[in-house]
Amino acid sequence: MKQDLKTFQGKGEAIVNYQINIVRAWIPVLLSCTLIAQPGFAEDKDHAEKPAVWVPNKLSDGQPDVQGFWRPANQGTYSLVNPRNGQDGKPDKDGKIPKRPVKPSRIIDPADGQVPYQPWARAKQQHVQANFNNPVSQEFIDPQARCFPGGVSRQQWWHNTEIRQYPNYVVIIGDADRRIIPLDGRPHIPGNIKLWMSDSRGHWEGNTLIVDVTNSNAKHRLSNEGDFSSDSVHIQERFTFLDANTYQYQATYEDPRVYTRPWTVSSKQVRANTDEPDFEAWEYACIEGEKNTDNYITEKIVSQ
Amino acid sequence: MRIINRNKDKQTFERSSYASAFKQLSGAAIFVASVTLVGCGAPHIKGQDNVATTTADILRTADGKPDLSGIWQTLSTADWDLEPHQARKDAPPGLGVVVGNVIPYQPWALEQKKKNFDNRAELDPRRKYVMPGIPRANYTPEPFQIFQSDKQLTFIYEFGQTVRTIHANDTKHPEGHIDWWIGDSRGHWEGDTLVVDVTHFNDQTWFDRSGNFHSDALHVVERYKPIGPDHIQYEAVIEDPKVFTKPWTISLTLYRHKEKDFQLLENYGFTFDYEKFYP
């Protein structure tokens, strides 16, 4: 009925129980967080827009009531441009590598589906990507694999999220991160404060929650492929609720230090746990179960 | 779903159907409170001396329950040491928050506590920024925010990744035992007090930086009683038959943050040692 406890006991626990060489083999899988069982890729309508005819129930402060558990229709933080739920599988006995199904790029603007990096930034991203499977030093380990907060947009397609609404607030709870989004029009915090999950200010326009995001510490990555921004990034999010069970998430990244132009990611989100009306999200305890992510480093493993 | 009534506006309060019911209850509540005080045999209940039960000043939700929404923080030094203590190199002084001043350890556990104290700089789980457990999360010297609806309360703590749901929808604890860092919280209202039963703990957290500890048999009953618009009297009865000779109680006041535009920030302190790798 409720989520399997073992699933929630933190991937770190799982890691330390394996032999180190097995850990190594499983790193890409763990990084993409497939331990949380998810239904397979749902029908891909990531880029479809429906006319906003849905009339939601309203909460006492006038917000559309969109509370509950949501999941990305296409789950997986492995890649922005070739979204898939984890890396390709291990070779079978005939040496064939099972390929994960790849979905269209999450990037809807620009039209080529690529992050419009400046040349130096593209080189940096590719350097991290090239070392992802064989991390020889600390900086190649995705911070997400250490149970660090996933960042604002990555939270949307990492695991399920729960939206809770209270007067003047939207709260989004993920497994290893949470966002408190005030709706009262207050100014952002001072610019020198940088946060893993940034600073969010929201307001509703009809059925669309628009969130202005600043103060990112930019230490998280946007995918396992080394996608990144600087801590000057400014993100505009749009949560457009299309009906009682669907919303379209979009985030536009603007960061003149890293990109040549603004760009936009998009992800369809659908209701989760619909067959379990009394579903409760239980304690995840990610960092608490983590023993030592330094063991991800390949050289260290080889030397042991 | 919910509006905040500032019941300083007495007329609003008087008009509500809850008001009349409350008048009948308040006399009984005072009587019960007196009996409780006498029953404890404690001439001095910490933190409760200046509790003026000015219920008219309590913020209330549309259905008449106290509204605990807001950002709260202790001013006590409980996180350094629950028991009375003078200043020392690694702790500011404090009168303590333990009712009766002394935690009733079993002999073996008192020895363990002393060992913990001697090695506190290395052994306090807090230094790893893991979830601090209950009740410690509530007196960690950083703010936490309560969001309240009629079915559940969400507690988000600035410290670590601690997010806590207090289910207040008549559901029961899941079957267990389950090893959780902040346990499983089920709450209900008794008059103006939110009573929360918390169980399913692991044995990995301490109550403070002085090595006060518990086992996985820990059971906590919390009581959140607003004593004005900006103060909650917080009490937790702590029971653990593997470690203590009898249940014991802490009592402290939670203060509302009143600063304009105050908000929680982050303290994901477990990232500090690695941030240099992600410039």
Q: Residue B268 domain-assigned?
A: no
Nearest to A139 among B62, B171, B277 (CB): B277
Q: What residue segments make up the domains of chain A, in order of their start?
A: 5-303
Residue B15 has pLDDT above 60, yes or no: no
Angle at B266 between CA B263 and CA B268, to 5 degrees: 165
Q: Is the Cβ of B169 closer than 8 Å to some Cβ of chain A?
A: no
Contact B271 A219 (CB under 8 A): yes
Q: Is the Cβ of B181 closer than 8 Å to some Cβ of chain A?
A: yes
DSSP state of B278: -
Predicted confidence band of residue B40 (pLDDT cuts 50, 70, 90): very low
Q: Is the Cβ of B257 closer than 8 Å to some Cβ of chain A?
A: no
Cis peptide preceding B279, ω within 30 of 0: no
Q: How many domains does chain B have?
A: 1
Q: Residue B190 domain-assigned?
A: yes
pLDDT for the residue A47:
54
* Size (chain A), residues: 304
Minimal Cα–Cα distance from A44 to chain B, Å?
32
Q: Is the Cβ of B173 closer than 8 Å to some Cβ of chain A?
A: no
Residue B195: C-alpha distances to residues A15, A18, B33, B188, B220 (Å): 38, 42, 15, 5, 10
pLDDT in tens, A54-78: 899 999 999 999 999 999 998 888 8
Q: What is the largest CA-CA distance in chain A?
A: 61
Q: Report the CATH number at residue B95.
A: 2.40.128.20
Mutate to test the interface with A, among B175, B271, B272 (most CBs of A within 10 A): B271
Predicted confidence band of residue A235 (pLDDT cuts 50, 70, 90): very high
* CA neighbor of A143 nearest in space, from A227, A251, A38: A227
How are beta strands B184-190 and B163-167 bridged, if at all? parallel
Q: Residue B174 domain-assigned?
A: yes
Q: Is the Cβ of A60 closer than 8 Å to some Cβ of chain B?
A: yes
A285 contacts on B by Cβ (under 8 Å): 131, 161, 180-181
* CA neighbor of A159 nearest in space, from A75, A240, A58: A75
Is the four-CA dihedral B50, B51, B54, B59 of positive or negative sign?
Answer: positive
Q: What does the alpha-carbon distance between residue A39 and residue A37 come to, in Å, rounded to a whole number?
A: 7
Complex ipTM? 0.81
User: What is the helix (H) or strand (E) element at residue A212, kind and residue range?
Assistant: strand A208-214
pLDDT in tens, B116-153: 999 999 999 999 999 999 999 999 999 999 999 999 99
CB pairs under 8 A between A and B: 96
Tokens 């929404």: give the residue. Answer: B69
pLDDT for the residue A75:
87
Q: Residue B266 domain-assigned?
A: no
Q: Given 3-state DSSP classes, what are the helix, strand and coil percentages for chain B, each rounded to the nearest 5?
A: 25, 30, 50
pLDDT above 90 covers a percentage of chain B that reads 78
A12 contacts on B by Cβ (under 8 Å): none
Q: What pTM, to 2 d.p., does this model score? A: 0.81
Determine if residue B26 is left, alpha or beta; phi over 0 gives left, psi from -120 to 50 gives alpha, anything else beta.
alpha
Which of A294-298, B53-57, B212-216, B261-265 shows the lowest per-residue confidence on average (mean pLDDT)? B53-57
* Size (chain B), residues: 279
Q: Residue B276 domain-assigned?
A: no
Predicted confidence band of residue A289 (pLDDT cuts 50, 70, 90): confident
B144 contacts on A by Cβ (under 8 Å): none
A287 contacts on B by Cβ (under 8 Å): 129-130, 160-161, 270
Domain span holding position B34: 5-258
